């Protein structure tokens, strides 16, 4: 089997035992990138020299007998929102074209120390605003199942790279669904950890109270290994939780749901949901029952208000966070010819540097935060946020996890929703409540929709710091469905 088809866990073992080397594994993935990138366009930056230098260093560290983690030598792609000292970081925006960060994000630093090898930076919606990666200033990414369709967003490049076997692992960020949604529509695993469980230090901010970095992988155990490798308290992030990392790897290995109480969210289904998505979801519920889980229906009445509340809170926070792109400190500068004031240069730069969706959000957020409207919009949305957290709290008194489809539909054609922001926003209908409440949720593949043969995701939501439950249930579903499919779902994808 080609090295690019192997799991991250298996690659880690082969490298540690000396059966292969980090350099060999990196080269195999760089070759795969060369062959499929013209179609997939998952990467904004690939630099074989830097990758191979990193791989040689890891091989040297292993040869010296340094004790590295289980992923030492395993390649990874990073969403282009994580700062990296040896690669540019653009957040998918023209305003940061070519920017070289002076420091590593905590997550990239920790993964470097654990011996992971960076393949490059993955495409994304500009500043992580979007659900299809079409808001990238550098063009869209194709879904490896059908490159005329979106790979989801905002972490579409990260998801596509893993689904296309360009990388066994990648990082993403999930503010309203941007890990789970692209994972679902590309047929892979994506996890949004508990808010504060993964460090935001060095991750270019979109909406700070919602942004949550997390892992992508082709299977649940690999995602858990990556999750564990970058987690743990970070004194550089004021919202980082100072508590032990939930036992995610153990849970992923265990994958047992006997006696577990599973709640089906009543509000997620029906109108607007593609029949093939609903059918696969119901089948998966039956699978869980057959494995001994007790499944009940649970109502979360405030979830219906999550989307409007999110689209006030996220733009409000982004309008404040993006004020730093002022043409003075870093990034693009337009019109600085000695005749214009700083304000004029700032306005020209922001007009040229930001794309339409980013501008829409900044305007919306600035309006919602303005003194006359603050209470009516931002204040109300924060109250809804509390109601949603209470719905979760009440639900987790009755059940151990909640489940739903990850997305209402499968991957849509590139171009279909670009001029219709409302249709685009609906892609995150099921994922947003979790961001507002800060708890954990994962998406695992649960089959192909009959209408279009495209992947469907199952979302498993757990309480704050109950991340291990997501992996435990995800692993059980993965194992049961692999038996049914005679392998993993990705093996059914047409060759690229």
* CB-based contact 28:3 (threshold 8 Å): yes
**CA dihedral sign of residues 344, 349, 351, 354:** negative
List the catalytic residue out of 131, 154, 319, 404: 154
H, E, C per residue of 265-325: ECCCCCCCCCHHHHHHHHHHHHHHHHCCCEEEEECCHHHHHHHHHHHHHHHHHHHHHHHHC
- Residue number, 91 or 444, with CB nearest to ligand GLN: 91
d(CA 252, CA 254): 5
* Residues at the site binding ligand GLN, with contacts judged by CB under 6 A: 128-131, 154, 173-178, 206, 314, 428
* CB-based contact 170:188 (threshold 8 Å): no
Catalytic annotation present for 266? no
The rounded radius of gyration (Å) of the Cα atoms in the chain is 21
Catalytic annotation present for 121? no
- DSSP-assigned beta bridge partners for residue 213: 173
The closest of 215, 210, 218 to 228, measured between CA atoms, is 215
- Residue number, 73 or 315, with CB nearest to ligand GLN: 315
- Residue number, 106 or 173, with CB nearest to ligand GLN: 173
Shortest gap between Cβ of 390 and ligand GLN (angstroms)?
23
Shortest gap between Cβ of 336 and ligand GLN (angstroms)?
31
- Residue number, 18 or 139, with CB nearest to ligand GLN: 139
- Residue number, 165 or 311, with CB nearest to ligand GLN: 311
Shortest gap between Cβ of 432 and ligand GLN (angstroms)?
7
d(CA 455, CA 446): 7
d(CA 212, CA 377): 24
Shortest gap between Cβ of 66 and ligand GLN (angstroms)?
36
The closest of 280, 256, 259 to 269, measured between CA atoms, is 280
Shortest gap between Cβ of 323 and ligand GLN (angstroms)?
18
Shortest gap between Cβ of 126 and ligand GLN (angstroms)?
10
* CB-based contact 146:189 (threshold 8 Å): no
The closest of 186, 172, 179 to 143, measured between CA atoms, is 186
| SS3 call for 457 | strand
Catalytic annotation present for 39? no
List the catalytic residue out of 6, 7, 41, 79: 79
| Half-sphere exposure at residue 142, Cβ-oriented, CA atoms within 13 angstroms | 13
The order of strands in the sheet holding 212-217 is 43-46, 117-122, 75-79, 169-174, 212-217, 189-192, 440-448, 455-462, 401-405, 261-265, 294-298
- Residue number, 39 or 359, with CB nearest to ligand GLN: 359
Is 10 exposed, middle or buried (CB count within 10 Å of its CB: 0-12, 13-18, 19+)? middle
Shortest gap between Cβ of 71 and ligand GLN (angstroms)?
25
Contacts with 201 (C-beta within 8 Å, 6 or more apart), sequence order: 105, 106, 234, 236, 237, 240
Torsion region of 127: left, alpha or beta (phi above 0 gives left; psi -120 to 50 gives alpha) = left
List the catalytic residue out of 7, 170, 178, 231: 178
- Residue number, 127 or 145, with CB nearest to ligand GLN: 127
Shortest gap between Cβ of 59 and ligand GLN (angstroms)?
35
Shortest gap between Cβ of 206 and ligand GLN (angstroms)?
6
Q: Would you tell me how many other CB atoms lie within 10 Å of the CB of residue 398?
A: 11
Residues serving a catalytic function are 79, 154, 178
């Amino acid at each position: 089997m080609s090295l690019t088809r192997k799991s991250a866990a298996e690659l880690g073992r082969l490298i540690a035992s000396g059966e292969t080397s980090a350099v060999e594994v990196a080269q195999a993935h760089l070759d795969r990138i060369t062959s499929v990138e013209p179609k997939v366009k998952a990467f904004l930056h690939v630099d074989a020299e830097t990758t191979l230098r990193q791989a040689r260093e890891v091989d040297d560290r292993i040869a010296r007998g340094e004790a590295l983690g289980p992923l030492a030598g395993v390649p990874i792609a990073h969403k282009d929102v994580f700062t990296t000292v040896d690669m540019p970081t653009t957040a998918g925006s023209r305003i940061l074209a070519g920017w070289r960060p002076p420091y590593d994000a905590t997550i990239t630093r920790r993964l470097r120390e654990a011996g992971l090898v960076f393949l490059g930076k993955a495409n994304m919606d500009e500043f992580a605003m979007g659900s299809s990666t079409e808001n990238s200033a550098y063009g869209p990414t194709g879904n490896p199942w059908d490159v005329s369709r979106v790979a989801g967003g905002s972490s579409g490049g990260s998801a596509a790279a893993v689904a296309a076997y360009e990388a066994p692992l990648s990082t993403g960020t999930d503010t309203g669904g941007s890990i789970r949604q692209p994972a679902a529509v590309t047929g892979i695993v994506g996890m949004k950890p508990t808010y504060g469980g993964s460090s935001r230090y060095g991750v270019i901010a979109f909406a700070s109270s919602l942004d949550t970095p997390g892992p992508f992988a082709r299977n649940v155990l690999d995602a858990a290994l990556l999750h564990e490798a970058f987690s743990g308290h970070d004194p550089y992030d004021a919202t980082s939780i100072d508590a032990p990392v939930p036992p995610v790897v153990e849970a992923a290995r265990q994958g047992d749901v006997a006696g577990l109480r599973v709640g089906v969210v009543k509000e997620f289904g029906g109108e607007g949901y593609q029949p093939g998505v609903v059918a696969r979801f119901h089948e998966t519920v039956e699978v869980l029952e057959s494995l001994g889980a007790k499944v009940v229906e649970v109502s979360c009445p405030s979830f219906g208000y999550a989307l409007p509340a999110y689209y006030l809170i996220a733009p409000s926070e982004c309008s404040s966070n993006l004020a730093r792109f002022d043409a003075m400190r870093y990034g693009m500068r337009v019109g600085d010819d000695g005749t214009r004031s700083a304000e004029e240069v700032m306005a020209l730069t922001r007009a040229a540097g930001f794309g339409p969706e980013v501008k829409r959000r900044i305007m919306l957020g600035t309006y919602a935060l303005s003194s006359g409207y603050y209470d009516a919009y931002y204040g109300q949305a924060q109250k809804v946020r509390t109601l949603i957290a209470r719905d979760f709290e009440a639900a987790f008194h009755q059940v151990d996890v909640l489940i739903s489809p990850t997305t209402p539909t499968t991957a849509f054609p590139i171009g279909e929703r670009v001029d219709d922001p409302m249709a685009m926003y609906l892609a995150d209908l099921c994922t947003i409540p979790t961001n507002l409440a800060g708890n954990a949720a994962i998406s695992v593949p649960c089959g192909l929709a009959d209408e279009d043969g495209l992947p469907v995701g199952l979302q498993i939501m757990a309480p704050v710091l109950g991340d291990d439950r997501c992996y435990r249930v995800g692993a059980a579903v993965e194992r049961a469905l692999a038996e049914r499919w005679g392998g993993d779902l990705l093996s059914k994808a047409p060759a690229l």
